[in-house]
Amino acid sequence: MADRRILVTGGAGFIGSNLVHYLLGKAEQEHGITVSKVVNLDKLTYAGNRSSLASLADDPRHVLVEGDIQNSELVAFLLRKYNLNAIMHLAAESHVDRSIDSPEEFIMTNFVGTFKLLDAARVYHKERQAAGQSDFRFLHVSTDEVFGSLGPSDPAFSETTPYAPNSPYSASKAGSDHLARSYVHTFHLPVVTTNCSNNYGPFQFPEKLMPLMIQKVIRGEKLPVYGDGSNVRDWLYVEDHCRGLTLAMLKGEIGETYNIGGKCEMKNIEVVHALINAVNAERPDLNRDPAELITFVKDRPGHDRRYAIDCTKIGRELGWQPQETFDSGMRKTVRWYLDHANWIEEIERKYQLQRLGQA
């Protein structure tokens, strides 16, 4: 079995923590590899939480390091100390609303941070090559939002769709994608890039659509839906995404980009109705009425109307397909949040304390 020793950036966040659990859990069986070390570098801001990794506290394969990807010296130290042979780069500011309020944070983390990480990897990879080691890989994880917005009848985003970012968030990610590409062609750094659709599942910060709405349904609070609720997104269960990321890291062709989508386009209002139904199915004592809960609010600036991912390429070249349907993934997601009320409470408490500290 190939031994992988991986630096995961942003591994205490939503997708990152799910990826760490996947790498140290199902990856060996599903991909025929040994993951002997995961060094988890996370800044532990509001969206990064130690509690999402609590079950790995006694696993010697996992090392959680609080730090910033912009700290090149720290990154270089970790790469060399643990003799790592892969980077899976997920660290990012990712909430569109926050990027409208505070765009500079997104530029610094998503663009400058990615540059710092790529350059540290360039130096490290050159050292490994000089020592006769050629197994290094860098996976750069991005988003479908870099492609802009689709019309109702437009074909889904493919790997050749022109970039047209419409928010500071998507612009910062688009810039980081271009940096990643440049490091392949200029410095021959072995980078593979992925662009994913909207993820959902366990460990997602409660400000995002699905966990936010689940909590509001449980509490009987109003569910704010932007505009008329007709914005369309392609929904991807997070473990399916982690499976695709691992395949891309292991088998993706250097310099190539792979789109990862859930093959599940839905309007936001349809998602909210499905959430209410799923909560009612798990908690029939609540019996929430969508008509009493859903309220439409003013749309946010630059709100893209439709995203859709064509993931034919990763299926054809790497054999990936989503294993969860929207219904099965939704039921798993709702059940997880119902079973982990303490996790939600801890995250919300931490966030409130951080806000008070900034006031």
Output the six-digit token pair for 339.
């079973």
For tokens 């688009």, name the residue: 174
Output the six-digit token pair for 265.
């386009």
Question: In this structure, which amino acid lies at residue 148?
Answer: G
- Dist. CA 127–CA 147, nearest whole Å: 35
First to last CA, the chain: 52
Question: In this structure, which amino acid lies at residue 342?
Answer: N
3-state secondary structure of 266: strand
Q: Is 240 a catalytic residue?
A: no
- Dist. CA 299–CA 268, nearest whole Å: 12
Q: Is 169 a catalytic residue?
A: yes
Please pick, among 93, 144, 304, 310, the residue that the annotation labels catalytic.
144
What DSSP string describes 95-136? Answer: -HHHHHH-HHHHIIIIIIHHHHHHHHHHHHHHHHHHTT----
Question: In this structure, which amino acid lies at residue 200?
Answer: Y
Nearest one of 327, 206, 319, 329 to 277, comparing CA atoms: 327
Residues 6+ apart with CB under 8 A from 165: 145, 146, 148, 171, 173, 174
Q: Is 234 a catalytic residue?
A: no
- Dist. CA 272–CA 275, nearest whole Å: 5
Please pick, among 169, 237, 258, 307, the residue that the annotation labels catalytic.
169
Please pick, among 42, 93, 145, 310, the residue that the annotation labels catalytic.
145
Q: How many CB atoms lie within 10 A of CB 218?
A: 18
Enumerate the active-site residues: 144-145, 169
